[in-house]
Chains A and B, each alone.
Chain A
């Protein structure tokens, strides 16, 4: 029984994180520090003809600009193959390449100088499709490596052709997965400072793998390892992502620091982060499988192409994990796998939680369900028939007999905990009701090699140091990324030494004070570092024991118990008192005994044969099974993940709070990967530049996740513990995809399952041409930022009206305009009307409500009379942005911006609102329906201010319906919306009918043809169906040629009919 291991323990680094005191990389400010900025390439592929620094160098405050030629050491770096340009030479390879780096006195000067660097290019036609890159005649992206194929791993077991010959069935399927952005909430940041004691540099920042960073910076700077000290800082999320990019940044700031002799900080905006950072590899996976009618897999041939992007980075290791695990946890006699990572001119790809496993699990777990269906057996049976059992042989020929093979157990547990069989019935029944929503349940399982395996040397280090008063320091050569490693290590030390957790403090590590502990990757921290802590703590325990054993009258340590700070005999003797840990430590110090120790762990041997892909790839494995339950909106293609039951064999739980957190977080990322996260890069240009376009799940997108932890103790694990970080992410996409088949009856072969892919079976993307990609933009502002603003704040509306002119842009809540201004180049003059009392009122008269244009949306939502009389306005406005945005954004701002997706506009049109525009010469009113002329263009004149909205109370009893579609459940850019209101005459015929669309045409507007068609009629199902053809024609005529119309046209018809149906049901209920 353990006293601390396995308990719910709050984080040892929690206090500083809940108080804002934790120091993250960008919080660091050193004396005399300069700020750096990158000059990125303008094009993804091309030769650099000329770099003109003259304008930038002239700028006041610029202290250094560095180029390729200034690199003192290795010109190119990389964890395995040194192909990565920190600063490019005469060619660029992807959109995130950096040509020059600037250091200046202020951040703004650095950005401005980077903007002022003029580059001339000779564009090269980029290769953006990995399938093109492997063609024999393809241009070589890095000719010095002789091939676009970065690495090829074969795996051969048995004879696949023979196996196919013996199989009763043969199918071949192709699966595709997308890029996946880490989207850690903290953008990257690194600071370098000259270190006069070593004639080297100290490096701070958001660093996942300090020892890798040290190696890269030392090589780049031509220095020894002991001249670079990495101190890190609190890391704001990483998930494998703050490795190579951080190393590149660290090299640049070290070089700038060398030239200026000053500390230099480089912090990225989100746009820079997304532009330069690496992603998860997109895979194209071809699976050919032979199997018998009973479901027994006979033979599998797999070919995978992974897009490595511009550089090789971790492709060697990522794809190696894939080749080991590509057949999943299934025993198959004959296997032939080939995986190739290839260079393209896309964003480069590297480590991301899962590391080559989510892609193959998506493919082969989807495939398993399809095979089961062909054999008319259940998804469960196919896995039982083929799944690994104790002593099974893997595709690489490894016999699984050194750990508990718990695949069957995790699947059974997942079935039981999710009440899978009952849900099958329940969802079958629900799906028979004819509702627009279909339900599904699906499962996926995996096995995963723990730690690095045969990738390389697998060792790690810690220091455990007991102080004279019995308190303890732990330092580790591994990194806290947020996962809770520090807490785990403190628990292990406390458990071994038998002292309370509060006595153990984790010290901020630096590479100068601890031996290289390897990278904090592969979910290896607990497994390897935990063992190292045990090693160190046991050394100390033995040393202390030798001091006190005579006093306790024992000869062996196993005759003692170390618990709650006391050391006592297992067999108590009345005359012998237990000794407190403090006292024992005091005695040890007096006796001159060392009570500090290095702990070391070297993983058990593994093996790999490169030519055959055979060997004992990993020293132990974990098993997991996740069950996903989903609801699909067949009208729109939107998926809701209702619940994920996540069962994982973790060996042993160290910190229950931490491990459950890993499950929640990993599953949430898996859900995002499966349905939301559509990284849009076209012709090498990134279109999803920030978190408004690259969508990760919000709190409203994550429903229920149930972690179920199985503990089959592992002989190699600390207290039997194995791993958890990555297995949690890798299963959801396959489980969701399998649930999709259940729900829709259709197989899907590609993630993410976007609205369009679900609805149409394919994704739609705004077309972009290669010519667009190679166009040299010469835009001046490379990094979006708020700069060059002049703002005036008049004290009254009257004064504002005198000042307003073409020179000014009006700012109210600012939630749109500040975003817009970040991107603009020219100096802007703003007229601030947010505080004007005249615009802040909501007034109610007998006939109408008057809402001031600067009233924040939140106030409108809580206004009693508005809630009562204008429910659609309230519903639509409640979907604007987020709570924070609505607290600031105003109704006036939402409409003057005239975005086609502005949510407040359709209801204003529906309710016949009028808009008051004032100038110094007077005021005028415009009906809301006429206010917006077209996208981003309104009736407002340069000398006018929108002052209020007048909304008359409806004179009739209206029945209404509103629906807004977004890609996720909050903070959306509205994809499409519909508002409908119907009033009946005494004969129950439609007297008044208003239907307004949003985000469909060039502006929100009434669909008058349909309104007219319905008027005078009785609202019935048959009438609702009649609108379909005319509506289709209206939309086709208006937007038929638009890229999105293939989706929007049928979806709008669906939701329009549904809105009418909703009203129909309300009427029926009324009767």
Chain B
């Protein structure tokens, strides 16, 4: 067991967790933050992407014990005061969502990119989203949504 203190979605939390837990399990099972999804468990699909200390990471490949002192942001934090972020709005407008299962991870990868680089080039967008698999949309509407967000 490990005692971890970290910040999640702007709230400090302290948890005692088993060493085998992954960040993904902490979010989904311990904290009820089920917006983050598990698609493969090996960092290939990106459905579990969250932002840790400003960087997009696969939460299936981070052990809870490695979280101490980290700042974690999940999909649940993007809508503020019942107002969707511009990026979320643009995902809707561009049809960047179908089944929606990859969407939280996709949004977190896109957010991490735009937070660091508000006007990314197309190649930078593709690089930021290369680790997020989507089986429904063919990616084009997603790319267009992030491009639009980057040209704001």
B130 within 8 A of A: yes
The complex places the Cα of A902 from the Cα of B152 at a distance, in Å, of: 39
Please give, as numbers and ranges, the residues of chain A lying within 8 Å of B49 by CB-CB distance: 884
Chain A binding site: helix, strand, loop or mixed by DSSP? Answer: loop
Report if A814-B98 is in contact (Cβ < 8 Å); known contacts: A11-B92, A883-B56. Answer: no
The complex places the Cα of A160 from the Cα of B94 at a distance, in Å, of: 51
Please give, as numbers and ranges, the residues of chain A lying within 8 Å of B43 by CB-CB distance: 815, 819, 881-882, 884-885
B100 touches A22 (CB 8 A): yes
Contact residues of A between 181 and 195, Cβ < 8 Å to B:
182-187
B76 touches A20 (CB 8 A): yes
Please give, as numbers and ranges, the residues of chain B lying within 8 Å of A616 by CB-CB distance: none
Please give, as numbers and ranges, the residues of chain A lying within 8 Å of B61 by CB-CB distance: 813-815, 818-819, 885, 888
A705 within 8 A of B: yes
* Binary B-proximity of A259-271 (CB < 8 A = 1, otherwise 0): 0000000000111
The complex places the Cα of A787 from the Cα of B20 at a distance, in Å, of: 5
B45 within 8 A of A: yes
Please give, as numbers and ranges, the residues of chain A lying within 8 Å of B60 by CB-CB distance: 818
B40 touches A691 (CB 8 A): yes
Report if A888-B35 is in contact (Cβ < 8 Å); known contacts: A818-B22, A971-B131. Answer: no
Report if A702-B139 is in contact (Cβ < 8 Å); known contacts: A20-B104, A692-B44, A814-B66. Answer: yes
A786 touches B20 (CB 8 A): yes
A612 within 8 A of B: no
A907 within 8 A of B: no
B75 touches A20 (CB 8 A): yes
Please give, as numbers and ranges, the residues of chain A lying within 8 Å of B36 by CB-CB distance: 20
Please give, as numbers and ranges, the residues of chain B lying within 8 Å of A270 by CB-CB distance: 39-42, 45
A700 within 8 A of B: yes
Report if A11-B143 is in contact (Cβ < 8 Å); known contacts: A691-B40, A786-B22, A791-B2. Answer: no
Contact residues of A between 856 and 880, Cβ < 8 Å to B:
856, 858
Nearest Cβ on chain A to B78's Cβ, whole angstroms: 7
Q: Of the candidates A13, A236, A818, A856, which one forms a contact with B63 in the assembled complex, judged by CB atoms under 8 Å apart? A: A818
A692 touches B139 (CB 8 A): no
Please give, as numbers and ranges, the residues of chain A lying within 8 Å of B84 by CB-CB distance: 15, 18-19
A674 within 8 A of B: no
Q: Of the candidates B20, B41, B58, B76, which one forms a contact with A19 in the assembled complex, judged by CB atoms under 8 Å apart? A: B76
B140 touches A186 (CB 8 A): no
Nearest Cβ on chain A to B123's Cβ, whole angstroms: 9
A21 within 8 A of B: yes
Q: Of the candidates B34, B69, B93, B100, which one forms a contact with A17 in the assembled complex, judged by CB atoms under 8 Å apart? A: B100
B138 touches A665 (CB 8 A): yes
The listed residue with most A CB atoms (<10 A of its CB), out of B43, B62, B143, is B43
A884 touches B56 (CB 8 A): yes
Report if A658-B143 is in contact (Cβ < 8 Å); known contacts: A187-B39, A888-B58, A970-B130. Answer: no
Please give, as numbers and ranges, the residues of chain A lying within 8 Å of B139 by CB-CB distance: 664, 668, 697-699, 702
B134 touches A185 (CB 8 A): yes
Please, which residue of chain B has its CB at the minimum distance from the CB of A702?
A: B139
A661 within 8 A of B: yes
Report if A883-B38 is in contact (Cβ < 8 Å); known contacts: A18-B84, A18-B91, A665-B137. Answer: no
B100 touches A234 (CB 8 A): yes
The complex places the Cα of A663 from the Cα of B141 at a distance, in Å, of: 11
The complex places the Cα of A13 from the Cα of B101 at a distance, in Å, of: 13
The complex places the Cα of A590 from the Cα of B35 at a distance, in Å, of: 44
Give the segment of A67-75, A92-100, A477-485, A999-1007 that binds chain B: A477-485
Chain B binding site: helix, strand, loop or mixed by DSSP? Answer: loop
Report if A690-B109 is in contact (Cβ < 8 Å); known contacts: A10-B93, A18-B88. Answer: no
B57 touches A18 (CB 8 A): no
A692 touches B137 (CB 8 A): no
A661 touches B95 (CB 8 A): yes
Nearest Cβ on chain A to B135's Cβ, whole angstroms: 5
The listed residue with most B CB atoms (<10 A of its CB), out of A238, A666, A786, is A786
Please give, as numbers and ranges, the residues of chain B lying within 8 Å of A24 by CB-CB distance: 34, 37, 101
Contact residues of A between 144 and 176, Cβ < 8 Å to B:
none
Contact residues of A between 663 and 709, Cβ < 8 Å to B:
663-669, 690-692, 696-700, 702, 705
Please give, as numbers and ranges, the residues of chain B lying within 8 Å of A793 by CB-CB distance: 2, 65-66, 68
Report if A882-B95 is in contact (Cβ < 8 Å); known contacts: A19-B79, A185-B102, A696-B135. Answer: no
B55 touches A887 (CB 8 A): yes
B16 within 8 A of A: no
A790 within 8 A of B: yes
Nearest Cβ on chain A to B98's Cβ, whole angstroms: 4
A430 within 8 A of B: no
* Binary B-proximity of A265-279 (CB < 8 A = 1, otherwise 0): 000011100000000
Report if A482-B126 is in contact (Cβ < 8 Å); known contacts: A882-B46, A884-B43. Answer: no
Please give, as numbers and ranges, the residues of chain B lying within 8 Å of A935 by CB-CB distance: none
A237 touches B99 (CB 8 A): yes
The complex places the Cα of A270 from the Cα of B135 at a distance, in Å, of: 14
A1011 within 8 A of B: no
Q: Of the candidates A663, A835, A882, which one forms a contact with B130 in the assembled complex, judged by CB atoms under 8 Å apart? A: A882
Q: Of the candidates B57, B93, B95, B141, which one forms a contact with A888 in the assembled complex, judged by CB atoms under 8 Å apart? A: B57
The complex places the Cα of A271 from the Cα of B22 at a distance, in Å, of: 18
A814 touches B19 (CB 8 A): no
B149 within 8 A of A: no
Please, which residue of chain B has its CB at the minimum distance from the CB of A13?
A: B100
Please give, as numbers and ranges, the residues of chain B lying within 8 Å of A830 by CB-CB distance: 19, 63
Please give, as numbers and ranges, the residues of chain B lying within 8 Å of A690 by CB-CB distance: 40-42, 44
The complex places the Cα of A787 from the Cα of B21 at a distance, in Å, of: 8
Q: Of the candidates B56, B93, B101, which one forms a contact with A237 in the assembled complex, judged by CB atoms under 8 Å apart? A: B101
Please give, as numbers and ranges, the residues of chain B lying within 8 Å of A791 by CB-CB distance: 2, 19, 63, 65-66
The complex places the Cα of A664 from the Cα of B140 at a distance, in Å, of: 7
Please give, as numbers and ranges, the residues of chain A lying within 8 Å of B34 by CB-CB distance: 20, 23-24, 26-27
A18 touches B92 (CB 8 A): yes
B100 touches A884 (CB 8 A): no
The complex places the Cα of A887 from the Cα of B135 at a distance, in Å, of: 24
Please give, as numbers and ranges, the residues of chain A lying within 8 Å of B130 by CB-CB distance: 698-700, 882-883, 969-971
The complex places the Cα of A791 from the Cα of B89 at a distance, in Å, of: 41
A698 touches B92 (CB 8 A): no
Report if A705-B138 is in contact (Cβ < 8 Å); known contacts: A24-B37, A791-B65. Answer: yes
Please give, as numbers and ranges, the residues of chain A lying within 8 Å of B56 by CB-CB distance: 883-884, 887
Q: Of the candidates B40, B100, B127, B134, which one forms a contact with A883 in the assembled complex, judged by CB atoms under 8 Å apart? A: B127
Nearest Cβ on chain A to B38's Cβ, whole angstroms: 7
Please, which residue of chain B has its CB at the minimum distance from the CB of A704?
A: B140
B97 within 8 A of A: yes
Nearest Cβ on chain B to A968's Cβ, whole angstroms: 10
Please give, as numbers and ranges, the residues of chain B lying within 8 Å of A813 by CB-CB distance: 61
Please give, as numbers and ranges, the residues of chain A lying within 8 Å of B100 by CB-CB distance: 13, 16-18, 22, 234, 236, 482
Q: Of the candidates A18, A705, A858, which one forms a contact with B97 in the assembled complex, judged by CB atoms under 8 Å apart? A: A18
Please give, as numbers and ranges, the residues of chain A lying within 8 Å of B68 by CB-CB distance: 793, 835
A19 touches B22 (CB 8 A): no
A61 within 8 A of B: no
B72 within 8 A of A: no
Please, which residue of chain B has its CB at the minimum distance from the CB of A787?
A: B20
A325 within 8 A of B: no
The complex places the Cα of A695 from the Cα of B95 at a distance, in Å, of: 24
**Nearest 7 CB-CB pairings of A with B:** A20-B35, A882-B131, A482-B99, A236-B101, A664-B138, A17-B100, A668-B138
A-B contact pairs, 22 of them (CB 8 A): A14-B91, A15-B84, A18-B84, A20-B78, A186-B47, A235-B99, A236-B99, A236-B101, A237-B99, A238-B99, A665-B138, A669-B135, A669-B138, A691-B133, A699-B126, A700-B126, A791-B63, A793-B68, A822-B42, A883-B130, A884-B49, A971-B44
A interface list, Cβ under 8 A from B? 8, 10-11, 13-24, 26-27, 182-187, 234-239, 269-271, 481-484, 657-658, 660-661, 663-669, 690-692, 696-700, 702, 705, 784-791, 793, 811, 813-815, 818-819, 822, 830, 832, 834-835, 856, 858, 881-885, 887-888, 969-971
Given contacts A187-B39, A665-B98, 8 further A-B contacts (CB under 8 A): A184-B101, A661-B141, A691-B45, A813-B61, A832-B66, A883-B128, A884-B56, A888-B62
